[in-house]
């Protein structure tokens, strides 16, 4: 029988079966909180400082005071991997508004709660990484920044979940979301890229996307490998007529898309640039990251 995992909650390590939060926590009652998904490879946590900076930025945007420092937060993540003896894995870092009452007022929550979970994750089967995957375009539109800015990685993920339900009904693993004006933004859990005539294009932040940490890393790796990258608005027309398409995300890494809304993308197989970027990504994560003690 495998050893039970430990979960960090507010300064304590509890077994998975013991780890609980109050039903009065506003993270549960209202989705009032922020989170990060973080990967570890080869006994090193990838881009940990960037993830911690982003969760603090998300918290600031919703006026949520995190009760520990960035340095302490980094230690929480590293120590949770170490406590669970996981040299490789996926961690979920969560900050909720904390214990309050049944009313909406966040001032009733005196102290935010910090949670860190370490476990395994597998977004897509290996066959999809080898051969590419189909996706659909959801009818669910991406939140506008004037309503709830997608740059905030909040616990309120209903916008994404509604689109994912459409993907499930269509029998595919991911759904693309557009703005109300039909501009491509991102998928429910991944950023999107297309390739045309050897140039990689991805939507800019202002169209309504999460500024993905894996997205930024893949852009850097592409440029270092002589591949031109352009942040530019585009529509489904450009996507349908692309030579390649791929998605990036902490859990997904880099995965090719070979069909969108039943339109075959390019040659209908994982493209050369997509495969190159997945290979250099794997090279990078083997050697870089914050050491797990």
Catalytic site residues? 153
The number of beta carbons lying within 10 Å of the beta carbon of residue 22 is: 14
Note whether 176 and 57 are within 8 A (CB).
Answer: no
Note whether 167 and 175 are within 8 A (CB).
Answer: yes
């Amino acid at each position: 029988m495998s050893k039970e995992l430990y979960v960090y909650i507010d300064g304590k390590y509890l077994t998975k079966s013991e780890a609980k939060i109050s039903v009065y926590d506003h993270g549960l009652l209202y989705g009032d909180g922020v989170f990060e998904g973080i990967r570890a490879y080869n006994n090193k946590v990838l881009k940990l400082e960037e993830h911690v900076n982003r969760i603090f930025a998300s918290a600031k945007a919703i006026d949520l005071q995190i009760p520990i420092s960035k340095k302490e937060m980094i230690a929480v993540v590293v120590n949770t991997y170490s406590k669970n003896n996981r040299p490789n894995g996926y961690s979920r870092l969560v900050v909720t508004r904390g214990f309050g009452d049944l009313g909406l007022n966040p001032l009733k929550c005196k102290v935010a709660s910090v949670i860190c979970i370490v476990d395994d994750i597998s977004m897509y089967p290996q066959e999809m990484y080898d051969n590419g995957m189909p996706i659909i375009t959801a009818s669910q539109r991406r939140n506008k920044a004037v309503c709830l800015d997608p740059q905030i990685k909040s616990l309120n993920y209903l916008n994404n979940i509604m689109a994912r339900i459409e993907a499930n009904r269509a029998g595919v693993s991911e759904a693309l979301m557009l703005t109300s004006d039909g501009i491509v933004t991102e998928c429910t859990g991944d950023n999107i890229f297309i390739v045309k005539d050897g140039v990689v294009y991805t939507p800019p932040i202002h169209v309504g996307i999460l500024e993905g940490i894996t997205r930024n890393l893949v852009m850097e790796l592409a440029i270092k490998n002589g591949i031109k990258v352009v942040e530019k608005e585009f529509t489904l027309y450009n996507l349908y007529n692309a030579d390649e398409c791929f998605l990036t995300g902490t859990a997904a890494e880099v995965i090719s898309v070979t069909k969108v809304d039943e339109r075959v993308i390019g040659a209908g197989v994982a493209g050369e640039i997509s495969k190159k970027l997945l290979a250099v990504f794997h090279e990078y994560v083997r050697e870089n990251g914050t050491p797990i003690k």
